[in-house]
């Protein structure tokens, strides 16, 4: 999205803590395999059991609203005597243990199977803390619990008041164009989706979670055959700025940190949300993905997907990633 690219320009041009190694970037670009572009973040086992595409669209909104911060704080881990590694929220479903965003997906699907009306905006608008606690039961308590309940309530309330209690109507109003859908969500649901920060007097638009909604529907759900209406404009989406993709880019030597930031990350010192270091990591991640996309001709959100999926491999667990307590990623 052009407004994202324009807003990160001052960060890219003046960043003091983060830089991009273009030689390493080119090496990575040459390593992308054709089969990696066919991989999806969602799979058949992470789909709602429904033949109604409206249910799948609704699920993408609920997942997109909650897809952030799954690890306990350093202070919490220290108090509980946990090891040095981030203590992620995990769940057990059908004898399998999941963590991170996969755990969230499976917890929501489990809740739907148990009869919770998570796909109905009217239910979300009145969501109780007790219901949500049962839906996301795991170990330990999911981080930022109260914030997640509040986000789902706002998501439900605005969808009821503004879009006739229909998530699909948001796509219809946006003409099934990815950029238009993102802009509607940022405008109508600012508490949920308006991921903006200030950097040296400039507004920086990062829009991580909000871009996942049309990309999941237009790419993953469409290719899995559960949504048949085409989403256009996916090529204009940027790489969603989170912690996993910068982690992989850093491990690959594409993103470089100054000595002080490197030490903070190695020691798992939390970076405050909106701090210069944190904003530079997120903004230069977007820039790096854009450069890879231009070098390869691959859409930015697909480049991001390749990086994210590579980051699920065990070798990347050996490298610490930056930590920020925030609802945005």
Which residues carry out catalysis?
A: 242
Bridge-partner residues for 232, per DSSP? 177
Neighbours of 2 (CB within 10 A): 9
DSSP string, 115-128: T--TT-HHHHHT--
| Dihedral pair phi/psi, residue 42, rounded to 5° | -95, 160
Question: With helix as H, strand as E and coil as C, how does 266-323 read?
Answer: HCCCCCCCCCHHHHHHHHHHHHHHHHHHHHHCCCHHHHHHHHHHHCCCHHHHHCCCCC
Q: Which of 113, 103, 152 is nearest to 132 (CA)?
A: 152
Q: Which residues contact 280 (CB under 8 A, 6 or more apart)?
A: 11, 15, 16, 17, 18, 199
Q: Which residues contact 51 (CB under 8 A, 6 or more apart)?
A: none
Q: Which of 208, 205, 196, 159 is nearest to 57 (CA)?
A: 159
Bridge-partner residues for 311, per DSSP? none
């Amino acid at each position: 999205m052009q407004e994202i690219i324009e807003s990160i320009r001052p960060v890219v041009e003046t960043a003091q803590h983060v830089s991009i190694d273009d030689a390493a970037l080119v090496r990575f670009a040459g390593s992308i395999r054709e089969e990696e572009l066919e991989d999806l973040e969602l799979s058949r086992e992470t789909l709602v059991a429904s033949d109604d595409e409206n249910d799948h669209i609704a699920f993408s909104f609920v997942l997109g609203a909650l897809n952030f911060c799954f690890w306990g704080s350093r202070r919490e881990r220290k108090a509980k005597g946990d090891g040095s590694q981030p203590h992620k929220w995990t769940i057990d479903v059908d004898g399998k243990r999941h963590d991170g965003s996969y755990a969230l997906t499976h917890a929501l699907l489990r809740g739907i199977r148990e009869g919770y009306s998570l796909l109905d905006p009217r239910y979300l608008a009145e969501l109780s803390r007790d219901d949500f606690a049962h839906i996301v039961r795991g170990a330990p308590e999911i981080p930022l619990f109260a914030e997640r309940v509040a986000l789902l309530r706002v998501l439900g309330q605005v969808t009821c008041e503004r879009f006739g209690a229909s998530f699909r109507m948001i796509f219809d109003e946006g003409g099934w164009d990815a950029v238009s859908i993102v802009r509607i969500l940022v405008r109508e649901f600012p508490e949920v989706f308006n991921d903006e920060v200030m950097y040296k007097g400039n507004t920086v638009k990062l829009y991580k979670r909000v871009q996942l909604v049309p990309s999941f529907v237009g790419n993953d759900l469409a290719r899995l055959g559960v949504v048949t209406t085409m989403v256009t404009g996916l090529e204009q989406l940027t790489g969603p700025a989170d912690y996993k993709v910068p982690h992989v880019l850093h491990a690959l030597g594409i993103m470089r940190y100054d000595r002080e930031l490197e030490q903070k990350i190695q020691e798992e010192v939390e970076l405050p949300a909106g701090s210069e270091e944190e904003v530079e990591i997120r903004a230069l991640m977007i820039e790096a993905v854009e450069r890879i996309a231009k070098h390869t001709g691959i859409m930015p959100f697909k480049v991001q997907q390749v990086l994210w999926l590579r980051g699920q491999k065990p070798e990347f667990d050996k490298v610490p990633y930056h930590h920020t307590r925030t609802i945005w990623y």
